[in-house]
Each structure stands twice: as C-alpha cells, then as structure tokens.
Amino acid sequence: MPAAAERGPTVAADLDLGPAARRFRSEIREWLAANRPEPLEDTERETYGPGPGSPYWEWGERLRAAGYICVSWPPEHGGRGLSGIEVAVMNEEFARAGAPRVTRGMGEALVGPAIIVHGTDEQKAHFLPRIISGEDRYCQGFSEPGAGSDLANVQTRGLVDGDDIVLNGQKVWTSWYHHATTVFCLCRTDPDAPKHRGISYVLVPLHRDDGSGNGVEFRPIRQMTGDSHFAETFLDDARAPLFNVIGDIDNGWRVAMTTLGNERGGGASTQHVQFAREMWALAKEARARGRSTDPVVRQQLAWAYCHVEIMRFQGLRLLSAIAANRDPGPGASMSKMFWSEYQRRLGEHAMSIVGPDSLLTGDGYSLDRWTATFLGTRAHTIWGGTAEIQRNIVGERVLGLPKEPRPGA
C-alpha cells in the first residue's frame, strides 16, 4: 500500500451511491477523457463566472454545449435537474480529471435559483437563458457600510419612476465585480415600513442599452493578499426597468433569504473534494520540507484529515436527506460554520509547516499558495454571514434557545 501522502484525496466515489450515480459517473468520466482542456489552474477567481476572452470562458462554453452548466436547475429552465448526489459525482470527477469546474458564478448559484422560486414566468423566460449563456454575469450588492450582519438595515433608496426604478446609495464588499454585467441589489423602497418590509430585490445592469454607464461605479478594495476581488459600489441614479424587480416591489426580503440560503448551503455536500486535495497537498509540502516526522506537524495533519472526513460524511448525510426528500434542516448554517473555521485553522497550520518562508510577503514578492491560503481564509468566517451569526441561527432555530436580545424588541 502506498504511503498515505501519496494516496491522494479520498472522495465519495469510494462509496456506492447507487446505479444512477454510477451511470452518471461513467458518462462524465468518458466525456472528460475526450474533452479535457489543456491544464488550467483551478482557482476560484477564474472559474466562478468568467467573462469572454479568458481560457476559462472557452472551457465554460464547451461545458455549456455539453449541458454541464447550471446543472442543478430544473430542465424546464434550461438545467439538467441533477440531484445533489449527481452534482457531488460531477465535482468529484472534475477534480479527479484535474479539470476546473467553470460555472456561471453568482448567476448560477444565487440569482437564478431566486428567480426560479420568486420570478414571474416572463422573468424566468428572459433572465435564466441569459445566465446560462453567460451573457448576464452577476455580482452581489447586499452589504452596505451600515448593513452587514444586520442586512435588513439597508439604506440604499429605490424610487419608482414611471416604468423604472432608480437606485441611489452605497454598497460595499462587492465580490467578482470584475466579471459582472449586472449587480443584484437590495434597496429600500418604503422607508416607513417595518425594517424587514419595504425592501426590494433589483437586478441593476452596469450599462444602458446604448452602452453608456448606468450610474454604477466600482472602487476596488485592496485585500491583504494584494488582490482586489471586491469593491465599494456607488449607485448614482442607477436605473433598471421595473421588470428587473424580483418578487415585487417591497417584497424583496424573502427573495434575499432564498439567495442567502443558497449562499450558505451551496456546495455543502461537495466541497470536501477541494479540501481533501488541499489537505493532501499540505501533507506533501510537509514531506518535501522534512517536517512530516515532527509530532506536532503529524498532529496538525491528522486533525485536518479528520475534519475533511467529517465534512465528507456530513455532506453525504445532507445528500441522503435530499435524496429522501427530507428537509436538510439547519445543514446550511452548520456547514458554513464548520468549513469556514476549519479552513482558517488549516491556513494557520500551513504557515507553521512552511515556517519562515511563509513570512515572505509584500511588494516584490508574489504570495505562495500557503500564505495566500492563510490570508485569504481570514475572510471565510465573515462573508455569507459570519460564524457568530451562524451560531445565533443554530442556537435559536435548532436548539430552541432564547432569542438574543435586540434593541427595541
């Protein structure tokens, strides 16, 4: 038997997920063997909703032609209606083949599913095909300087003007703005309504039909990693047709909740594949640096291995619940809390394994993989709802603990 560090990632493929999943696995495996692209680095920055002009876009086009885009959307909306199990199989096979799984980013994961639940038939017919084709690419304008965890505090104003809605205000931390054609925003349309009412969910194009700007300005924010994958967003008379309001005027909060549920739960059943690859890469790094006999390092790697296995089994539990049409319950919040805290800690272990080399940062040095992981994962317990907020949700909705005191409540 090869040494553990040479065995590589464990994936759920070791478990028999049934005949349909087996058939689907063979189909994907054959397709990838025939169509795999030239090696492309599997980075989220490139694979999450890329725009035209990049090799990832070209690869995404081949995936689309083969029906491997928006795969979990229902067939009547242009997807393949894949179950959670089949999506897990697909991710595993892509990881096994070393082929990046290009998606339509937030359009596929967040906006499309919200339109499917809350949009009118006309909105579905208009917006969903444009997400699949990649013509519309989205970024998320929810957070504001005074509205993060307390998202219902949005102050950006939306005023109805004839057949349009006009937005003014400021958003912040707008990720993936550099790939986007449209920003999906929450805005306050009735300032006199109670906090969670009077909010609307609007798809705001970045450009008008004649190609001119639509009053949306991004100011990139430089991150610790040196990257600028998010921005401050200023809305200055940004205009959208009322047709772009999803779930009706003043009724955007429940649309936002659908989006947040998908943001927190998305990938819960499949992300162990990526974490397993990362964990085995760290084990390899430890060997290469002669650190793998150090008992502290061994302890750190064993800790990581156990956590990845827990995520794998938790994912399978979620898949079984979905396959049996049972409500997966609080899975989304628990999963977000678990994986984000895991990866932060893994980043710390990686720094201690790499040692002094990991301190080489700053102008003139490009970050190595592990320093980038360490710095990048600081954010994971913040975006999509902080770890503290997930704990509040689990405490109140799962354990039935008393609600936290809220001012004015």
Ligand X SMILES: Cc1cc2nc3c(=O)[nH]c(=O)nc-3n(C[C@H](O)[C@H](O)[C@H](O)COP(=O)(O)OP(=O)(O)OC[C@H]3O[C@@H](n4cnc5c(N)ncnc54)[C@H](O)[C@@H]3O)c2cc1C
* Residues labelled as active-site residues: 263
Q: How many CB atoms lie within 10 A of CB 86?
A: 21
Q: Which parts of 216-358 fold into alpha helices (H)?
A: 252-265, 272-288, 295-323, 331-354
Name residue, tokens 């064993």: 302
Residue pair 354/290 in contact (Cβ under 8 Å)? The answer is no
88: helix, strand or coil = helix
Which range binds ligand X by CB under 6 A, 126-134, 143-151, 155-163, 204-212?
Answer: 143-151
Q: Least CB distance from residue 304 to ligand X, whole Å? A: 22
* Residue 372, both tokens: 């980038």
Which range binds ligand X by CB under 6 A, 91-99, 270-278, 293-301, 378-386?
Answer: 378-386
CA atoms of 42 and 135, how far apart (whole Å):
23
As a 3-state breakdown, the chain gives helix, strand, coil percent values, each rounded to 5, of: 50, 15, 35
Identified binder of ligand X from the candidate list 383, 393, 394, 395, rule CB under 6 A: 383
Residue 276-315 contact track with ligand X, rule CB under 6 A, x = bound: ----------------------------------------
Identified binder of ligand X from the candidate list 95, 353, 367, 389, rule CB under 6 A: 389
Identity of the residue, 72 or 175, whose beta carbon is nearer to ligand X in the bound complex: 175
Residue 279 CB contacts under 8 Å (≥ 6 apart), including other chains = 9, 301, 304, 305, 308, 346
Q: Least CB distance from residue 264 to ligand X, whole Å? A: 11
The yes or no reply on residue 234 touching ligand X (CB under 6 A) is no
Name residue, tokens 């013509």: 135
Q: Least CB distance from residue 229 to ligand X, whole Å? A: 7
Identified binder of ligand X from the candidate list 26, 120, 133, 149, rule CB under 6 A: 149
Please give the biggest Cα pair distance in the chain.
71
Nearest residue to ligand X, using CB?
148
CA atoms of 292 and 301, how far apart (whole Å):
9
Identified binder of ligand X from the candidate list 47, 91, 156, 175, rule CB under 6 A: 175
Identified binder of ligand X from the candidate list 59, 94, 142, 253, rule CB under 6 A: 142
Q: What angle do CA 181, 186, 191 make, to 5 degrees?
A: 145
Identified binder of ligand X from the candidate list 140, 156, 262, 333, rule CB under 6 A: 140
Identity of the residue, 143 or 371, whose beta carbon is nearer to ligand X in the bound complex: 143
Residues that bind ligand X in the complex, under the rule CB under 6 A: 140-143, 148-149, 173-175, 230, 379, 382-383, 385-386, 388-389, 392, 404
